[in-house]
Structure 1
Amino acid sequence: MPYVKTRDGTDIYVKDWGNGRPVVLIHGWPLSSDMWDAQSMALADAGFRVIAYDRRGFGRSGQPWSGYDYDTLADDLADVLEATGANENVTLVGFSMGGGEVARYMSRHGGKGVISTALLGSVVPYMLKTDDNPNGVPEATLQEIGDGIKKDRADFFRNTFFGQFFGVGTFSSPVSDEVLHTATRIAMDASLKATLACAESFGHTDFRGDLASFTVPTLIVHGTADKTVPIDATAREAVKGIPDAQLVEYDGEPHGFTETARDRITKDLLTFLGDPGQQSFVGGNKSSEPLTA
């Protein structure tokens, strides 16, 4: 079943690997479910059922003109869960923009079927810099993203965005040129409409009111050197508002730590998830220390 049709008729491409307790992986902007392949393989090999899908407008999914607000995106997530039969004992894992889908699903759909969540480099609770969110991203910076995309999308992604995303510097690069080229190619597969509309959504949606809906154990992981999604406005605020949350900070890691710290995040997810044979949440490390060194 490679495609799920949402309530508004949009085709969503779904990868469904392995068997066991379901773990649903929600990708970041402007990528696709392919960003999760290394983690998906490891989790499936460990005995979990891994479901990863392409957000509407991205990857192999349909490219409708509308529906890039978080209410609709959370409904898409609900439709994927329903169509795949992953409606109980589910762990939701959202990276970057994908953390917003997790938050809005927990509030809008009451966290139906979910027993644990993970927010990785997530935009939750609020990206935009405002008087009551002083550590956020200035409006002018968010506007530069849209302007760069409109001027020359391929150049913006290859030579500006993904360099910062993966922490590429003048004298060091934690990823290969091939990774940068592949990320750019995946970003270019998305529709221009979806790319711009989702940037507007993740940059301006306030999820602070959704935090109380996280009523399950939650793992929050964020790189301290993240220049794309600042940790002070997101992860360090999210852990204050989510009752049963643990924050693990990856010292010196950039936004794209699912690639630059691939083995570490895979191990931390497996530790958090616990025994795949258990049909209730028994994982997690509640100490204040990092799950891995």
Structure 2
Amino acid sequence: MGTITTPDGTNLFYKDWGPKDAQPVMFHHGWPLSADDWDSQMLFFLSEGFRVIAHDRRGHGRSDQTDTGNDMDTYASDVAAIAEALDLRDAVHVGHSTGGGEVTRYAARAERGRIAKAVLIGAIPPVMVRSDKNPDGIAMEVFDGFRVALSRNRAQFYLEVPSGPFYGFNRDDAEISEGLIHNWWRQAMAGGAKAHYDCIAAFSETNFTKDLESINVPVLFLHGEDDQIVPIENSANKAIKLVRNGRLKVYPGLSHGLFATHPDLINADILSFIREG
């Protein structure tokens, strides 16, 4: 574990485990979490002989609680800074939700040879918010509600999200994990309120259409059919049509947090994709 300092002076926390000459797999967490959300994946891919890396996005977890730079362009630049500092080459980048947007923007701009493949899990691209060009998107009022809830009582809001739609624990037949709920809250409360507030606009309003069209490496989309946070109809079902070399796998009945609730299933599918020729 260590830190790097970006050109604008922000300290970013990261974990870097495994042989430094092995193929890197880098994980990008969702809002408002941290690298710890990838514990199951980090341990699994480490055991399979990979070098595994995960960072806390600026304003999240153990990285600096920045009041500026909380936007997708800066997030992607931060990833590039980590990739350069650790000399990551032919890396597989795996992103969940907001992290999927981060991977998309980074992949579209990455230095030649840095990235081999991308995996987007419950990811936000192409664009979440409703507009004239995206009429079936999510209404801005929903994201405004997030901002109000965060501002008034962030601690309570960060209990309600994982207790309800994030993991599908609001469904009648859900097998509820109190550990996942508390771990989500722990990670979220470690970050900065200002950065989390700004990130709502970053994940809801950023348009990744051109990024998706520019990616020239294979992309695997994994999405839960019952994703209540990033509905599949407005995300993966559209994004798959924009990439040059993409594949979409849909999981019936699974939620937004499917890689945490079903790690064995998701890990196996990612590993198969990585090992394909």
TM-score by length of 1: 0.90
Aligned match for 1:55, one of 40, 54, 57: 57
- 1:67 alignment partner AA: G
Residues 144-193 of structure 1: per-residue CA shift (max 9 Å, x gap): 11111111111112124542101012644334112211211211111000
* 8 Å contact kept, 1:110–1:213: no
* Matched position secondary structure for 2:25: strand
Residues 66-90 of structure 1: per-residue CA shift (max 9 Å, x gap): 011111110000001011111x211
* Matched position secondary structure for 1:14: strand
Residues 241-264 of structure 1: per-residue CA shift (max 9 Å, x gap): 001000000111110001112110
- 1:54 alignment partner AA: D
* Matched position secondary structure for 1:165: coil
Q: Tell me, in whole angstroms, the C-alpha distance in 1 between the residues paired with 2:112 and 2:13.
A: 22
Q: 2:148 maps to what in 1?
A: 147
Q: 1:79 maps to what in 2?
A: 81
* 8 Å contact kept, 2:90–2:113: no
The root-mean-square deviation of aligned C-alpha atoms, in Å, is 1.4
* 8 Å contact kept, 2:162–2:181: no
Q: Tell me, in whole angstroms, the C-alpha distance in 2 between the residues paired with 1:162 and 1:176.
A: 9
* Matched position secondary structure for 1:167: coil
* 8 Å contact kept, 1:162–1:183: no
Q: Tell me, in whole angstroms, the C-alpha distance in 2 between the residues paired with 1:63 and 1:233.
A: 31
1:65 aligns with 2:100: no
1:269 aligns with 2:270: yes
Using the TM superposition, give the Cα deviation of residue 17 of structure 1 relative to its aligned residue in structure 2, in angstroms. 1.1
Structure 1, gaps ≥5 residues long: 275-281, 284-293
Distance change in 2, residues 1:54/1:160 (3 Å): closer
Using the TM superposition, give the Cα deviation of residue 110 of structure 1 relative to its aligned residue in structure 2, in angstroms. 5.2
- 2:262 alignment partner AA: A
* 8 Å contact kept, 1:69–1:201: yes
* 8 Å contact kept, 1:175–1:260: no
- 1:178 alignment partner AA: G
* Matched position secondary structure for 1:24: strand
* Matched position secondary structure for 2:39: helix
Matches within 5 A, 1:1-293: 2-19=2-19, 20-86=22-88, 88-109=89-110, 113-160=114-161, 162-169=163-170, 171-274=172-275, 282-283=276-277
Distance change in 2, residues 1:90/1:100 (3 Å): same
- 2:85 alignment partner AA: A
Q: Tell me, in whole angstroms, the C-alpha distance in 1 between the residues paired with 2:273 and 2:242.
A: 20
Total equivalences in the alignment: 275
- Which deviates the most, 155-164 or 132-141? 155-164
TM-score by length of 2: 0.95
Residues 22-56 of structure 1: per-residue CA shift (max 9 Å, x gap): 11100001110001010111101101111101000
* 8 Å contact kept, 1:106–1:112: no
Q: Tell me, in whole angstroms, the C-alpha distance in 1 between the residues paired with 2:23 and 2:34.
A: 23
Distance change in 2, residues 1:161/1:175 (3 Å): closer
Distance change in 2, residues 1:119/1:113 (3 Å): same
Structure 2, gaps ≥5 residues long: none
Residues 215-245 of structure 1: per-residue CA shift (max 9 Å, x gap): 1111000001001011111101110000100
Q: Tell me, in whole angstroms, the C-alpha distance in 2 between the residues paired with 1:260 and 1:67.
A: 32
Q: 1:289 maps to what in 2?
A: none
Q: 1:278 maps to what in 2?
A: none
Using the TM superposition, give the Cα deviation of residue 109 of structure 1 relative to its aligned residue in structure 2, in angstroms. 3.5
Q: How high is the sequence identity, in percent, across the aligned residues?
A: 39
